[in-house]
């Protein structure tokens, strides 16, 4: 999205309820800034995130999608994030194979104690996606404003 | 179409300081479904909650969105508010405009714009929400403890003391487990039997405890609060209710050459036997593999000498079916086999023994009546070499041993060394170790005493080879600190064998749908926060089946498991989390992919007859989610290709609506 | 040319019908032209003798028919399976897609099947196709007889055949073969070696031809949903036609993702695509990645095996690493 | 009749393209397809394009109307309906005939304005066939591949292309090209036509006879038991309908972009299980019913409603593209007594 001639990416962040969403809350508690372009969707576990949601976000105009979950081994549901890790490794590799910029998707493990990591991750991700510019390769022209 | 009310909280200046809350309330008014939108200083206050309650009544709201702090903070508060006003609590969604907006963005226009978008996402979700009611299931107020070692005993006693009936299933003829075989216990050196046997008696006498000894679990069905378990009672050919445990039969039995497993085969017992004097139940058992009567039909001595008439050669295995509300796995451990460690000559010399065998050799009730004598010639050993970590921390040799630390060996070896030096000061004792690990109350002091007061030779380094020569064992080892090779002529070599989960644990885990790690230890529901629960609801873990532990740790974990069981059994009904997976049977194709990823074994499959549109019927395999077991992670929803599996409260449609609203 | 003769297959089918082992046989039926073969169900020896065909064009995988027949009656149906078909057969069993007791599987060796579109590209107006000294002889309306090298006319999936071994059968005709060391991932590696822009251009060109006819899905042995997400208005991704180029990517990514760990690489999707989109290159990318990331896994090699996508180890590589590796994981 | 030598054909294309959008068949790795002429392509000699030419008048998806939702108001936005003039070059006799079949559906009352608009803006330049394929059976439906219809009819020989305008639209276009073409007699064309007709007689499907089918035969064919067996192999995909030049069914769907709703139509296939799904469910619940529908429509229902004209043009695309080689020829053989 262009705001006053400046490109502002739209970032969808899926955060698991138990670790990463709490990590994002902690970033808030500690007043650690990150760009408002990041919009968080709460899911019970990172393994709830269907590849269809990610594609949907790109279709509707997202420029980057990031998935945050508990660190491997710390999943509230014991193994959910292990499945996330395999699913997303394969999906992201496929997107890369189709020529979609690999910096547009990311998985990051953020614990409930890692408010600083959450903010830093978001800052970094927004910066990388901003550098890429608008999502052209997975856009749906019908959804353009 | 929903009738949605939006309530924007100022949170004092926490939100209102960086977000134009009035603008947010105004912007959300125009969203589809929204019929009321307002803002207030503190929505979570009584006055704020009243605003919500009044609006629900006045505007006939079917759903509400609260734009406020994190749902982790007040979602429950607002759910209760909604319920108090007659609205289903799951018709509430929170837009987190504090922690994830006002507190992280500094400029008012930026914060306001984002808050509106987060509000829109919440509205979009509520538009698709449906009222959810948590399921309820009754709880059978009886617990099953599988394994009758110290872990199972402690768990059973604690549960029984709380007033709930408990059954213990033990594969051996007696409870007691490994602890009954030990001599002294570290770090206080009190005798194992002295502290264990009173507990065993307590179990036997407890009105709330039944012991199924010489038995095993053969089938488990059901789920938390409602397990149906079949227990196989192996034929012991002695009527438990008649046998007085007098022992006459065990003295008269002519079959004397049966290796005594209780003493690890270091002496013999009869074909009819009571494992040890304090066995519970104190009932004889006929070993069908050795009994002449059972094998050839000719003998019957025990029957003749039994004045109680308890012998029954016709006995058959029996199956008992019982219902339980909770199951505790306490299947314990075994030392690993020494077959793959032939460098230590275990198979070549009787004088190379394991630490557990050493326990029996020093135990007053053991084969040598407590005298430390060489198994080969009954001589008193003068030089003893203890080898640590045999099969433990075996990263490079995973084929042979275990990668993990067995945790108890450092301490019991220090105990063995110390006791030996105490009783037989003329004995030279060497301990070869990789590291000495002694965390624990009074543990390191204990080890230091062995070194400093008792003069045990601790040598950092591994034993490379043990070769029997004459009546000596040539021990070749390296001293890593001195940097030299050592050659010791030992009389006895004691191997601290790694411990591994009992072999019965794996099939049991399958029956319980409880997960295990690669070493066959049961996996806990959370390594830190739920260490005594299995991920499978209603299944708890006690003792070494979860990981290597010493006795104090085992007992405390056993108590913790018991308290979890008591907490469960104290409830009359279990109220589930309504945000559980649900499979649409019309779309499910029964491929079983979802069951593969479910960490809780909550998904089963059944064949169901369907009416087809062309008026025929068809049997189809479909997935069924047990809502009492499902924890709502949603892993199955992604594994499901057809989208038949969805998660209530976080449906595909709802999440996509949030995505759409955010990306609009 | 196939080792096993048509007559042998007919004899076997007739015997199974005669001795009551089965009451119907799934096989190939001859059509208008030599290359025109349709899967069909045969119930009598006469039918078999008149219409059964076994030649270089019997490529069709019978999975869909097998499932349909196994549901029909209580009696058994016989099915002829080429080596590649047996992998689909096992995969269907893994997913409880048919009752094994209802099927009598007869393995038939395969020398590779010909691609009629390759022949059509080389010959105009085909009146007949036959075998002549190991070559493909085509009688044409305009250019007389044309002789083509058999190897050059083989279907892509047969050129890169992964296995001549039957992994499931009740009975095997002829000799069983071996699992082959195929070069099936070379094409994938070639695409991986391109720059992201080239890859995007390549796939944009390929996928833009999609007409969403669903042939790839409907022939796919792994596509067994009662209702496909793309047909289900409630799924959120339903679409009937490609109204925007995003949707062609969406459809093909999701289609391939849904068969991850389940696709046996039978190649039917590419064979049937009326627009010649190399769909197998999407499936093979996933297979190659699975092999590279999690160790070799061949769907269907063993009935009941657990696919890597529904499994994990604690040491799995991170998605970021997976992407960085790109094509270097072979 | 006008002619142009082959080496000047691209000049002619450039001339047409300078005033109208020109579409010519071009060879690609995936078969011939129509592409907009940009001065770089050369015309394909392939017998036919993989996809039919119906896309020009009845595209696979077409926007009908947009709804803009602003707050709680809905604004209706009519689509812009001005199409540019365009020329399709090289359509074969079968595809040209398909336009007539589509016309009878879309231009009959109620007129489909989207179709009508495109039809009025398009000029069809057809190309006579010289080397029909074994899958061709247009003759069965009375189509002469050697003498197609069209606004302008072309014949291509070894060295030249001959043009004959058949309609006013065609005459106007041809006239505008007079500077590049020269007047000629029809000798070369007649010779080619005669030769092609000889070839047509020898085609493997030349004897295929549709006379058993036609108007008012519904009761004769509807309940025939053969439908069951021949439909067994059908996978229920939409390939035949989507490559078919005469299939005209479509579905109307809404797509919510988040900002507005786009109502569009897209091709549908009677082979799909949700075809014509209504509130109560589906009309045709089994594949045999759906399979029967498609062929009954082509061979019986369409002729019944259209003075005996068949709904198939014998282009052979379905024969070439069906994943399992089940097609209308096999249906006609089985049900129509054709051997």
Q: For residues B364 and B492, state if they share a domain.
A: yes
Asked if the Cβ–Cβ distance from A142 to D262 is below 8 Å, we say yes
* D192, part of any domain: yes
Sorting pLDDT into bands at 50, 70 and 90, what band is B547?
Answer: very high
* C177, part of any domain: no
State whether residue C312 sits within 8 Å of chain A by CB. yes
* C330, part of any domain: no
ω before D206 within 30° of 0 (cis)? no
3-state secondary structure chain C: CCCCCHHHHHHHHHHHHHCCCCCEEEEEEECCCCCCEEEEEECCHHHHHHHECCCCCCCCCCHHHHHHHHHHCCCCEEEEECHHHHHHHHHHHHCCCCCHHHEEEEECCCCCCECHHHHHHHCCCEEEEEEECCEEEEEECCCEEEEEEHHHHECHHHHCCCECCCCCCCEECCCCCCECCCCCCHHHHHHHCCCHHHHHHHHHHHHCCCCCCCHHHHHCCCCCCCCCCCCCCCCCCCCCCCCCHHHHHHHHHHHHHHCCCCCCCCCHHHHHCCCCCCCHHHHHHHHHHHHHHHCCCCCCCCCCCCCHHHCCCCCCCCHHHHHHHCCCCC
Domain of residue B300 covers 235-316
* Residue of chain C minimizing CA distance to A52: C254
Asked if the Cβ–Cβ distance from B638 to A83 is below 8 Å, we say yes
The total number of structural domains in chain B stands at 5
Asked if the Cβ–Cβ distance from B663 to D258 is below 8 Å, we say yes
Sorting pLDDT into bands at 50, 70 and 90, what band is B202?
Answer: very high
* Residue of chain B minimizing CA distance to C230: B642
State whether residue C234 sits within 8 Å of chain D by CB. no
Helices B108-126 and B21-29: angle between axes, nearest 10 degrees: 40
Closest approach of chain D CAs to the CA of A5, in angstroms? 22
Residue percentage of chain B with pLDDT more than 90: 89
Q: For residues B289 and B383, state if they share a domain.
A: no
Q: For residues D190 and D267, state if they share a domain.
A: no
Which chains have 3 or more CB–CB distances shorter than 8 Å to chain D?
Answer: A, B, C
- Summarize pLDDT for D253-305 with one digit per residue, the tens: 999 988 889 999 999 999 999 898 888 888 898 999 999 999 999 999 999 99
Q: For residues C318 and C216, state if they share a domain.
A: yes
Cα(B387)–Cα(B164) distance, integer angstroms: 45
Mean pLDDT, rounded, for B263-270 = 94
Closest approach of chain A CAs to the CA of C300, in angstroms? 20
State whether residue B586 sits within 8 Å of chain D by CB. no
Structure-token pair, residue B180: 């009954």
Q: For residues B490 and B440, state if they share a domain.
A: yes
Mean pLDDT, rounded, for B653-663 = 96
* Residue of chain A minimizing CA distance to D264: A142
Q: How do strand C24-30 and strand C37-42 relate by DSSP bridges?
A: antiparallel
Residue of B15, B582, B663 to mutate when probing chain A, most A C-beta within 10 A:
B663
Cα(B352)–Cα(B497) distance, integer angstroms: 12
Which residues of chain C are modeled with pLDDT < 70? 1, 326-330
Cα(B314)–Cα(B152) distance, integer angstroms: 31
Asked if the Cβ–Cβ distance from D204 to C41 is below 8 Å, we say no
The total number of structural domains in chain C stands at 3
Q: For residues B389 and B477, state if they share a domain.
A: yes
Residue of B523, B642, B652 to mutate when probing chain C, most C C-beta within 10 A:
B642
- Summarize pLDDT for B628-644 with one digit per residue, the tens: 889 999 999 999 999 99
Angle at CA of residue A137, ends A136 and A140, nearest 5°: 75
Return mean pLDDT, chain D.
93
Closest approach of chain A CAs to the CA of D241, in angstroms? 26
Domain of residue D183 covers 2-202
* Residue of chain B minimizing CA distance to D286: B614
* Residue of chain B minimizing CA distance to D287: B614
* B659, part of any domain: no
Asked if the Cβ–Cβ distance from C272 to D239 is below 8 Å, we say yes
Phi, psi at D75, each rounded to 5°: -105, 135
Q: For residues D179 and D229, state if they share a domain.
A: no
Closest approach of chain D CAs to the CA of A78, in angstroms? 37
Residue of D238, D324, D330 with shortest CB distance to C213 = D238
Q: For residues B68 and B155, state if they share a domain.
A: no
* D210, part of any domain: no
* D212, part of any domain: no
Domain of residue C18 covers 6-113+160-172
Closest approach of chain D CAs to the CA of A56, in angstroms? 11
Domain ranges of chain A: 2-143
Whether ipTM tops 0.90, in short, is: yes
Residue of C241, C246, C248, C278 to mutate when probing chain D, most D C-beta within 10 A:
C241
Residue of A61, A142, A145 with shortest CB distance to D255 = A142
Asked if the Cβ–Cβ distance from A41 to B659 is below 8 Å, we say yes
Q: How do strand A2-3 and strand A6-7 relate by DSSP bridges?
A: antiparallel
Q: For residues D195 and D227, state if they share a domain.
A: no
**Bridge partners of residue B327, in order along the sequence:** B144, B539
Asked if the Cβ–Cβ distance from B641 to C97 is below 8 Å, we say no
- Summarize pLDDT for B383-410 with one digit per residue, the tens: 999 999 999 998 766 678 899 999 999 9
D101 by DSSP, 3-state: which? Answer: helix
State whether residue D339 sits within 8 Å of chain C by CB. no
Residue of C25, C57, C63, C125 to mutate when probing chain D, most D C-beta within 10 A:
C125
Q: What is the pLDDT of residue D339?
A: 52
Angle at CA of residue A58, ends A54 and A62, nearest 5°: 110
Sorting pLDDT into bands at 50, 70 and 90, what band is B613?
Answer: confident
pLDDT per 10-residue tile (average), chain D, 339 residues: 94 94 93 94 93 95 90 82 87 97 96 94 96 95 96 95 96 95 94 95 93 94 95 95 96 90 95 90 90 97 96 96 94 82
Q: What is the pLDDT of residue C62?
A: 95
Q: List the one residue out of A106, A52, A85 whose CA is nearest residue C294.
A: A85
Which chains have 3 or more CB–CB distances shorter than 8 Å to chain A?
Answer: B, C, D
Does residue A48 surpass a pLDDT of 70?
A: yes
Residues of D with CB under 8 A from a CB of A: 255, 257-259, 262
* Residue of chain A minimizing CA distance to B600: A77
Are the beta carbons of C300 and A70 closer than 8 angstroms? no
Q: For residues B304 and B413, state if they share a domain.
A: no
Asked if the Cβ–Cβ distance from B579 to A44 is below 8 Å, we say yes
State whether residue C308 sits within 8 Å of chain A by CB. yes
Q: For residues C95 and C135, state if they share a domain.
A: no
Q: For residues C202 and C272, state if they share a domain.
A: yes
Q: For residues D198 and D222, state if they share a domain.
A: no
The total number of structural domains in chain D stands at 2
Domain of B612, CATH number, reads 3.30.70.3270
Are the beta carbons of B328 and B565 closer than 8 angstroms? yes
Q: For residues D198 and D296, state if they share a domain.
A: no
Asked if the Cβ–Cβ distance from D259 to A145 is below 8 Å, we say yes
* Residue of chain C minimizing CA distance to A101: C196
Q: For residues B478 and B380, state if they share a domain.
A: yes
Q: For residues C82 and C202, state if they share a domain.
A: no
* B138, part of any domain: no
State whether residue C323 sits within 8 Å of chain A by CB. yes
CATH, domain A2-143, list 3.40.50, 3.30.1050, 3.30.200, 3.40.1420:
3.40.50
* C154, part of any domain: no
Q: For residues D249 and D301, state if they share a domain.
A: yes
* C1, part of any domain: no
- Summarize pLDDT for B158-200 with one digit per residue, the tens: 999 999 999 999 999 999 999 999 999 999 999 999 999 999 9
* B655, part of any domain: no
Inter-chain CB pairs, A–C, below 8 Å? 128
Inter-chain CB pairs, A–D, below 8 Å? 11
- Summarize pLDDT for B569-607 with one digit per residue, the tens: 999 999 888 999 999 999 999 999 999 999 888 999 999
Q: Which residues of A touch D255 (CB under 8 A)?
A: 142
Q: For residues B384 and B493, state if they share a domain.
A: yes
State whether residue B664 sits within 8 Å of chain D by CB. yes
Residues of A with CB under 8 A from a CB of C: 51-52, 55-56, 58-59, 72-73, 79, 82-83, 85-102, 105-107, 137-142
């Amino acid at each position: 999205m262009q705001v006053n001639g400046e490109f502002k990416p739209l970032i969808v962040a899926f955060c698991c309820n138990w670790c990463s969403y709490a990590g994002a809350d902690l970033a808030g508690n500690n007043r650690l800034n990150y760009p408002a372009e990041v919009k968080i969707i709460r899911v019970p576990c990172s393994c709830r995130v269907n590849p269809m949601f990610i594609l949907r976000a790109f279709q509707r105009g997202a420029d980057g999608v990031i998935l945050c979950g508990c660190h491997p081994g710390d999943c509230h549901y014991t193994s959910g994030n292990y499945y996330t890790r395999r699913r997303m490794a394969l999906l992201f590799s496929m997107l890369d194979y189709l020529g979609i910029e690999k910096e547009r998707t990311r998985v990051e493990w953020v614990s409930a104690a890692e408010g600083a990591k959450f903010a830093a991750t978001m800052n970094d991700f927004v910066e990388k996606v901003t550098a890429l510019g608008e999502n052209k390769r997975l856009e749906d022209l019908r959804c353009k404003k | 179409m929903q009738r949605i009310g939006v309530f924007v909280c100022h949170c004092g200046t926490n939100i209102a300081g960086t977000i134009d809350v009035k603008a947010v309330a105004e912007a959300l008014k125009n969203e589809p479904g929204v019929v009321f939108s307002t803002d207030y200083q503190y929505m979570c206050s009584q006055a704020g909650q009243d605003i919500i309650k009044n609006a629900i009544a006045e505007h006939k709201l079917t759903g509400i969105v609260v734009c406020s702090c994190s749902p982790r903070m007040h979602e429950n508060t607002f759910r209760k508010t909604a319920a108090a006003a007659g609205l289903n609590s799951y018709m509430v969604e929170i837009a987190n405009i504090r922690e994830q907006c006002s507190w992280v963005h500094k400029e008012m226009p930026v914060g306001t714009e984002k808050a509106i978008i987060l509000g829109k996402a919440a509205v979009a979700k509520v538009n698709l929400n449906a009222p959810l009611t948590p399921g309820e299931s009754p709880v059978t107020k009886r617990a099953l403890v599988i394994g009758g070692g110290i872990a199972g005993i402690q768990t059973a006693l604690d549960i029984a003391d709380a007033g709930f009936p408990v059954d213990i299933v033990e594969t051996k003829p007696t409870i007691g487990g490994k602890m009954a075989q030990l001599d002294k216990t570290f770090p206080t050196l009190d005798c194992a039997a002295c502290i264990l046997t009173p507990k065993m008696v307590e179990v036997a006498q407890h009105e709330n405890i039944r012991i199924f000894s010489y038995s095993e679990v053969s089938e488990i069905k059901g789920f938390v609060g409602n397990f149906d378990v079949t227990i196989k009672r192996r034929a012991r050919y002695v009527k438990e209710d008649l046998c007085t445990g007098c022992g006459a039969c065990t003295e008269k039995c002519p079959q004397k050459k049966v290796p005594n497993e209780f003493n690890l085969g270091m002496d013999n017992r009869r074909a009819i036997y009571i494992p040890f004097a304090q066995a519970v139940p104190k009932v004889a058992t006929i070993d069908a593999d050795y009994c002449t009567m059972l094998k050839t039909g000719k003998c019957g001595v025990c029957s003749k000498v039994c004045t109680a008439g308890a012998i029954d050669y016709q006995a058959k295995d029996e199956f008992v079916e019982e219902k339980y509300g909770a199951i505790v796995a306490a299947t314990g451990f075994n030392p690993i086999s020494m077959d793959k460690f032939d460098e230590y000559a275990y198979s070549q010399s009787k004088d190379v023994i394991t630490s557990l065998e050493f326990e029996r050799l020093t135990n007053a009730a053991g084969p040598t009546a407590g005298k430390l004598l060489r198994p080969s010639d009954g001589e008193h050993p003068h030089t003893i070499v203890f080898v640590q970590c045999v099969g433990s921390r075996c990263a490079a040799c995973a084929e042979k041993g275990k990668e993990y630390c067995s945790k108890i060996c450092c301490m019991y070896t220090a105990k063995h060394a110390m006791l030996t030096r105490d009783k037989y000061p003329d004995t030279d004792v060497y301990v070869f170790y990789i590291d000495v690990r002694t965390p624990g109350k009074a543990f390191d002091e204990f080890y230091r005493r062995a070194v400093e007061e008792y003069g045990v030779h601790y040598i950092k380094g591994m034993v490379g080879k043990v070769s029997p020569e004459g009546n000596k064992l040539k021990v070749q080892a390296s001293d890593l600190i001195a940097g030299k090779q050592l050659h010791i002529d030992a009389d006895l070599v004691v191997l601290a064998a790694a411990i591994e989960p009992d072999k019965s644990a794996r099939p049991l885990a399958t029956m319980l749908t409880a997960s295990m790690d690669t070493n066959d230890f049961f996996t806990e529901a959370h390594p830190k926060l739920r260490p005594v629960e299995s991920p499978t609801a209603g299944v708890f873990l006690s003792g070494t089946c979860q990981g290597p532990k010493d006795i104090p740790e085992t007992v405390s974990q056993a108590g913790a498991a018991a308290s979890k069981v008591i907490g469960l059994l104290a409830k009359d009904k279990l109220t589930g989390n309504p945000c559980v997976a649900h499979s649409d049977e019309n779309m499910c194709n029964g491929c079983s992919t979802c069951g593969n990823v479910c960490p809780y074994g909550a998904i089963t499959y059944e064949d169901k007859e369907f009416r087809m549109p062309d008026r025929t019927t068809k049997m189809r395999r479909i997935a069924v989610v047990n809502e009492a077991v499902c924890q709502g992670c949603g892993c199955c929803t992604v594994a499901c290709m057809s989208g038949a599996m969805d998660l209530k409260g976080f449906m595909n449609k709802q999440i996509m609506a949030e995505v759409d609203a955010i990306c609009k | 040319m196939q080792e096993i003769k048509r007559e042998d297959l007919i004899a076997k089918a007739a015997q199974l019908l005669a001795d009551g082992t089965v009451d119907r046989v799934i096989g190939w039926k001859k059509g208008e032209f030599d290359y025109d073969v349709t899967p069909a169900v045969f119930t009598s020896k006469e039918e078999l003798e008149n219409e059964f065909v076994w030649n270089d064009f019997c490529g069709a995988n019978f999975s869909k028919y097998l499932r349909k027949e196994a549901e029909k009656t209580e009696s058994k149906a016989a099915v002829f399976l080429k080596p590649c078909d047996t992998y689909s057969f096992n995969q269907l069993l893994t997913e409880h897609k048919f009752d094994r007791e209802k099927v009598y599987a007869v393995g038939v060796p395969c020398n590779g099947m010909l691609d009629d579109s390759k022949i059509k590209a080389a010959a105009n107006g085909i009146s007949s196709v036959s075998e002549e000294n190991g070559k493909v002889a085509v009688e044409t309306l305009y250019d007389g007889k044309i002789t083509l090298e058999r190897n050059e006319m083989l279907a892509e999936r047969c050129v890169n055949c992964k296995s001549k071994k039957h992994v499931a059968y009740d009975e095997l005709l002829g000799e069983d073969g071996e699992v082959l060391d195929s070069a099936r991932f070379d094409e994938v590696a070639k695409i991986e070696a391109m720059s992201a822009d080239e890859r995007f251009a390549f796939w944009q060109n390929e996928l833009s031809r999609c007409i969403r006819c669903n042939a790839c899905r409907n022939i796919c042995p792994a596509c067994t949903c009662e209702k496909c997400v793309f047909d289900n208005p409630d799924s959120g991704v339903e679409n009937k036609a490609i109204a925007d180029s995003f949707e062609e990517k969406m459809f093909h990514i999701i289609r391939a993702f849904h068969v991850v760990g389940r696709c046996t690489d039978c190649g039917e999707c590419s064979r049937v695509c009326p627009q010649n989109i190399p769909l197998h290159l999407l499936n093979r990318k996933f297979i190659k990645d699975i092999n590279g990331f999690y160790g070799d896994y061949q769907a269907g090699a063993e009935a009941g095996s657990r696919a890597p996508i529904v499994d994990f180890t604690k040491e799995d590589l991170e998605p970021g690493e997976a992407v960085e590796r790109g094509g270097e994981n072979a | 009749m006008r002619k142009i030598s082959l080496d000047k054909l691209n000049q002619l294309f450039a001339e047409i393209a300078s005033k109208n959008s020109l579409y010519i068949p071009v060879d690609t790795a995936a078969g011939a397809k129509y592409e907009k002429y940009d001065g770089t392509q050369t015309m394909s000699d392939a017998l036919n394009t993989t996809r039919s030419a119906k896309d020009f008048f009845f595209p696979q998806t077409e926007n009908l109307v947009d709804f803009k939702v602003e707050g709680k108001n809905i604004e209706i936005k009519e689509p812009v309906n001005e199409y540019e003039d365009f020329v399709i070059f090289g359509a074969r006799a079968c595809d040209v005939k398909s336009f007539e079949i589509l016309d009878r559906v879309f231009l009959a009352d109620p007129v489909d304005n989207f179709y009508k608009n495109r039809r009025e803006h398009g000029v069809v330049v057809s190309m006579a066939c010289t080397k029909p394929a074994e899958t061709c059976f247009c003759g069965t439906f009375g189509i002469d591949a050697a003498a197609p219809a069209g606004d302008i009819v072309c014949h291509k020989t070894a060295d030249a292309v001959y043009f004959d305008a058949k309609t006013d639209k065609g005459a106007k276009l041809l006239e505008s090209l007079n500077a590049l073409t020269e007047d000629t007699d029809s000798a070369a064309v007649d010779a080619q036509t005669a030769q092609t007709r000889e070839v047509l007689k020898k085609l493997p499907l030349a004897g295929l006879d549709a006379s058993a089918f036609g108007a008012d035969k519904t009761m004769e064919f509807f309940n025939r038991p053969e439908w069951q067996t021949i439909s067994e192999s059908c996978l229920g995909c939409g390939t035949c309908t989507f490559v078919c030049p005469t299939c005209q069914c479509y579905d109307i769907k809404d797509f919510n972009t988040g900002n507005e709703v786009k109502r569009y139509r897209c091709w549908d296939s009677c082979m799909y299980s949700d075809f014509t799904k209504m509130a109560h469910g589906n009309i045709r619940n089994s594949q045999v019913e759906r399979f029967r529908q498609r062929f009954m429509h082509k061979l019986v229902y369409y002729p019944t409603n259209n003075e005996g004209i068949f709904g198939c043009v014998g282009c052979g695309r379905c024969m070439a593209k069906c994943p399992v080689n089940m097609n209308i020829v096999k249906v006609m053989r089985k049900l129509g007594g054709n051997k």
